[in-house]
Amino acid sequence: MIGSGIVKGMAQTAKNFAGTYIAPRKYLVTVEYPEERLPAKENARNFPFLVFDGDDPEAGLRCVACRICEKECPPQCIYIEKDKEKKPDYVGKMQFQPSVFDIDISVCMSCQICVEVCPFDAIRMDTEFELSNPDRFGGLLLDKRRLAKSNEYCAEIHPEETEQTEARRAEDVRKAVAKKQARQQAASSD
């Protein structure tokens, strides 16, 4: 029948319209941004940040300035300078740290390669997206102070990934302690 498609379409529209009042969770698929926000998905990603452990964003930085991410970043938007001397990290272990760690997020293409190549779980992708800024240098060139975010924050936005990372790190620590104890036992029995 001519016009039946239009009638069906109108009926569907009316059903959806009424449904937004009767069962909003099922029918309302949009939110009133910016008043309302949907939580970011676990695998959402925008720009990288540096993870720190403990309370001190400076001493707790996991980054050891190995510069692998800097070399692998396709658009070369990471710039790192290594400290001249090692410093104690948050557990007192002597580590090199970056004296300078900048990411130009106006160039970053959110590829996540820096995260994948980092052997120290020191860099992760953020989900924050409201970063527009008219000041290119002050606003979009992020230094290590602005890049540093706690491991707790990381766990909030990437819970599964952080759980796996923490389990792996705990296992690495366990192996290192066992190895050290074995070495000490061998030395004392000589």
What is the spatial distance between Cα 42 and Cα 62, in angstroms, rounded to a whole number? 22
Rounded to the nearest whole angstrom, what is the least distance from the CB of residue 78 to ligand SF4 in the complex?
5
Helix, strand, coil: what percent of the chain each, to 5? 40, 15, 40
118 touches ligand SF4 (CB under 6 A):
yes
What is the spatial distance between Cα 41 and Cα 25, in angstroms, rounded to a whole number? 18
For ligand SF4, which residue of 110, 133, 181, 184 counts as binding (CB under 6 A)?
110
Nearer to ligand SF4, 118 or 140 (CB): 118
**End-to-end alpha-carbon separation of the chain, Å?**
97
The answer to whether residues 83 and 64 touch, using CB atoms and an 8 Å cutoff, is no
Chain CA centroid to CA 62, Å: 13
For ligand SF4, which residue of 96, 120, 153, 155 counts as binding (CB under 6 A)?
120
The footprint of ligand SF4 on residues 139-178 (CB under 6 A) is: none
Nearer to ligand SF4, 19 or 74 (CB): 74
For ligand SF4, which residue of 52, 60, 64, 144 counts as binding (CB under 6 A)?
64
Nearer to ligand SF4, 123 or 157 (CB): 123
The answer to whether residues 125 and 115 touch, using CB atoms and an 8 Å cutoff, is yes
Residues binding ligand SF4 (CB under 6 A): 48, 63-69, 73-75, 77-78, 80, 103, 108-114, 118, 120, 122-123
